[in-house]
Amino acid sequence: MSVITDPQAFNEEELYVDVESVFGHPLLLKCEGFNFAGSVKLKAATEMVAAAERDGTLKPDSVLVESSSGNLGVALSMIAASKGYRFVCVTDARCNLATRLMMEALGGEVHMVAGQEANGGFLGARLDYVRRLCASDDRCVWLSQYSNPANWKAHYRTTGPEITRAFPQLDVLFVGAGTTGTLMGCARYFRDRNRDVERPVRVVAVDSVGSVAFGGTPGRRLIPGLGMSMRPPLLDESYVDEVVLVEEADTIRACRRLARRGFLFGGSTGTVVSGAIDWLAHHGTPGLTSVAVAPDLGERYLDTVYQDNWVQDLYGEGPLKTAGHAPAASPSGRPAPSELAPDAPPDISASREGLAVNPR
């Protein structure tokens, strides 16, 4: 039994979901969404606040300020509420309504930038507003998740060791790239660990098409979480073995395919899963132990990724018609009924014995 007084004191560290039966490739998802902030960002938020308190930057009358597309904002709102700080989150139109409402319910103040900065996109506009806000009030403390080393140190200290304890013979780890805090913390941890083991872990970064983090061409990105419109200051590519880019339509397919099996994950998780499955389809070998960090759950994406009209208007019919990967087999060896038409409703028709459900 766990009894806590601070919400950040609880975080499920040992839950993994085996999705081989869903996608046909061996992959275990480390679920980071089972905490009161609902995402992996709780780790970075906790570490950054603690570091600012230790060095005296954060004082009782300080106002926490951060730019976030959503998940870190929720985590900081929660921590600020528990510690008595005022918190201002600067976000943009891509932030889900549910996320904004959560931050406000926790006492956070949400400011949405109206436009995009010419070269930096929404992120550039957000950062420009944060700088102006801090310049206008010396109580403001900007934790700067994009450049704060406490971001990656949180995962060097927690996420990497947690995965090693569960899978000491790990072969490949897939980590999504946003600020690259999770990626760099895990990559640095496994690089240091690899020096002492015969079986080194391969670290594969998963990024969104349209992100420029790894030098890609900038493009439209509507699903918050992964991807950057500037090169992440924390990123050191020498620690990363490979990079996989994922189209947002494939993110949606992965999310919806998991949901059809009862696992409601968020957009960041869908991107990581899609990238991991693509990599495994080309490079997987029998007996490979592969883990992907699943950053978030899906409730905050009900009005976007899981909303048919939103998907159809922005991405067309494709993501609604196909799951995008080879159907998994049922225990009998035949395709599972839900995989025959993964996104189509069942055809319910009358029979002599009552109602029969016939997959289309």
Q: Do 293 and 201 meet the contact criterion of CB atoms below 8 Å apart?
A: no
Cα-only R_g, the chain:
21
Neighbouring CB atoms inside 10 A of 125's CB total: 20
Active site residue 21: no
Catalytic residue among 69, 77, 229, 268: 268
Active site residue 83: no
Hey, is 349 helix, strand or coil?
Answer: strand
Catalytic residue among 30, 39, 41, 77: 41
Beta partners for residue 66, in sequence order: 89
Q: Do 211 and 228 meet the contact criterion of CB atoms below 8 Å apart?
A: yes
* Cα 100 to Cα 15, 36, 38, 108, 328, distances in angstroms: 27, 15, 14, 9, 37
Please write down the long-range contacts of 257-261, taking CB distance under 8 Å and 24 or more positions apart.
Answer: 257/22, 257/23, 257/323, 257/324, 257/325, 257/342, 258/19, 258/22, 259/298, 259/306, 260/323, 260/338, 260/342, 260/343, 261/21, 261/22, 261/338
Helix pair angle (71-83, 97-105), 10° resolution: 10
Neighbouring CB atoms inside 10 A of 264's CB total: 18
Which residues carry out catalysis? 41, 268
